[in-house]
Structure 1
Amino acid sequence: MNSDGPLKVDIWSDYVCPFCYLQLAIIDQLQQEYGSRITVQWHAFELRPEPLATLDPSADYLRATWRQAVYPMAQKRKVLMKLPPVQPRSRNVLEAAAFAKVHGKFEAFHKEAFRAFFEFGRDIGDILELLEVGSRAGLDRQALNSALSKHHYTDQIVADEGLADELGLRAVPAFLIRRADQPLSEATVMNGTMGIGPFKREIDRLCA
């Protein structure tokens, strides 16, 4: 992850959002193309925090969304994914990602968590499953377990979500692009899954 670029890309996403996963390769492309010119910062956004009900994995509307939107886009982007048999809450996995960021393993954990859910249908709301994901990403299992059990990163998740609310972000993925000297309130907001073109046009405009 870049840390010193003149342009900032702040991203709010959730690990149970298929469209966030589908957009991951586009962000990778941006980072490869622009290198140190952009700084990418990921933020937490729980789609269904307590007390909201989680989705029913067998619901007709969910299957229809995957059939009509998710699968066609995944095929087009050559992303391997399938409708997970579980629909967990995402607070634990978001806290695990925050832990991974502090310990220099965010990129690895980020991708492993998405793959665990959307490729293998694992319950990424379960701490034991997250310990497996963390181990694959190179994290210390015992330290991660302690952090999750004691909710060391809850405040950080709540802060990310509070900032999203202040900025009027209501859905993910959400991308805020700005110059490093601009506040988030002045960033260009881009929502949803899209190709690399719109991002490049905005970044090039800001670089001009």
Structure 2
Amino acid sequence: MLKKEFPIEDEWLAYELRPETPREGIPLATVFPGIDLKQRYENMNKAGDPYGISFGELSRVSNSHAALQAAEYAKDLGKFHEFHDRVFMAYFLELLDIGNPDVMLMLAREVGLDHEGLREALETDRYAPRLTEAREDATKSSITAVPTFIIADEQKIVGAQSLDVFRKRLQAAATK
């Protein structure tokens, strides 16, 4: 949407928010103790309504390592955005475990990626150095949450925000 209004060049960088998360994931209530999950889902669905997105009631936080490596693989093959969108839908709407390599292989097939090539990349942890480097870069830039957007190398937008927030920041950057 905003790419039609502004000359946006986006670069997605992998950021493993909780690398200590076990492979099988952990309950959402453990990550966010005391959170009102019902209210959280109501807020998420209210935000998603204008875009036709109905979020599922996520009960576990997946370990994102496999998903982030798979996204790097997709990036190398020119299918990042398509794969990223599919992983988003799988996790937040379909409630699939994106920490499961078999789920990543299934999603890769769905977007036309070579799933055997991805299997080899996951088994050898091929993209782990990129994840480490991205995490180090994020730490240097004081990034501690996802998503974080950096506009014109200076303005940060943290978390899921409205299009109006992005539009205002992009307009401000365009006038500099």
Is 1:67 matched up with 2:38?
Answer: yes
Equivalents in 2 of 1:80, 1:133: separation in Å? 20
**Percent identity between the two aligned chains:** 26
Equivalents in 2 of 1:48, 1:95: separation in Å? 15
1:68-100 CA deviation, whole Å, 9 max, x = no partner? Answer: 234323234222111234422101100000000
Equivalents in 2 of 1:51, 1:160: separation in Å? 18
TM-superposed CA distance for 1:61, in Å, is 5.1
Equivalent residue for 2:4, pick from 32, 37, 58: 32
The answer to whether the 8 Å contact 2:27/2:59 transfers is no
Is 1:163 matched up with 2:137?
Answer: yes
Is 1:147 matched up with 2:117?
Answer: no
Is 1:188 matched up with 2:155?
Answer: yes
TM-superposed CA distance for 1:133, in Å, is 0.7
Secondary structure of 1:144's aligned partner: helix
Equivalents in 2 of 1:125, 1:91: separation in Å? 7
Equivalent residue for 1:45, pick from 4, 15, 18: 15
Secondary structure of 2:160's aligned partner: coil
TM-superposed CA distance for 1:101, in Å, is 0.5
1:16-41 CA deviation, whole Å, 9 max, x = no partner? Answer: xxxxxxxxxxxxx222332xx11011
Give the unaligned 5+ runs of structure 1: 1-28, 179-183
Secondary structure of 1:176's aligned partner: strand
Under a length normalisation based on structure 1, what TM-score does the superposition of the two structures give? 0.74
Structure-2 residue corresponding to 1:134: 108
Structure-1 residue corresponding to 2:64: 90
TM-superposed CA distance for 1:131, in Å, is 0.2
Equivalents in 2 of 1:42, 1:73: separation in Å? 23
Equivalents in 1 of 2:85, 2:16: separation in Å? 17
Change (3 A) 1:51 1:80: closer
Is 1:124 matched up with 2:98?
Answer: yes
TM-superposed CA distance for 1:143, in Å, is 0.6
Equivalents in 2 of 1:50, 1:132: separation in Å? 25
Secondary structure of 1:190's aligned partner: strand
Change (3 A) 1:118 1:63: farther
Structure-2 residue corresponding to 1:56: 27
Equivalents in 2 of 1:66, 1:138: separation in Å? 35
Equivalent residue for 2:84, pick from 110, 114, 119: 110
TM-superposed CA distance for 1:173, in Å, is 1.5
Equivalent residue for 1:199, pick from 162, 166, 170: 166
Is 1:176 matched up with 2:150?
Answer: yes
User: Which letter does structure 2 place at the counterpart of 1:114?
Assistant: F
User: Which letter does structure 2 place at the counterpart of 1:135?
Assistant: R
Equivalents in 1 of 2:116, 2:157: separation in Å? 38
Q: Select the structure that is richer in strand.
A: 1
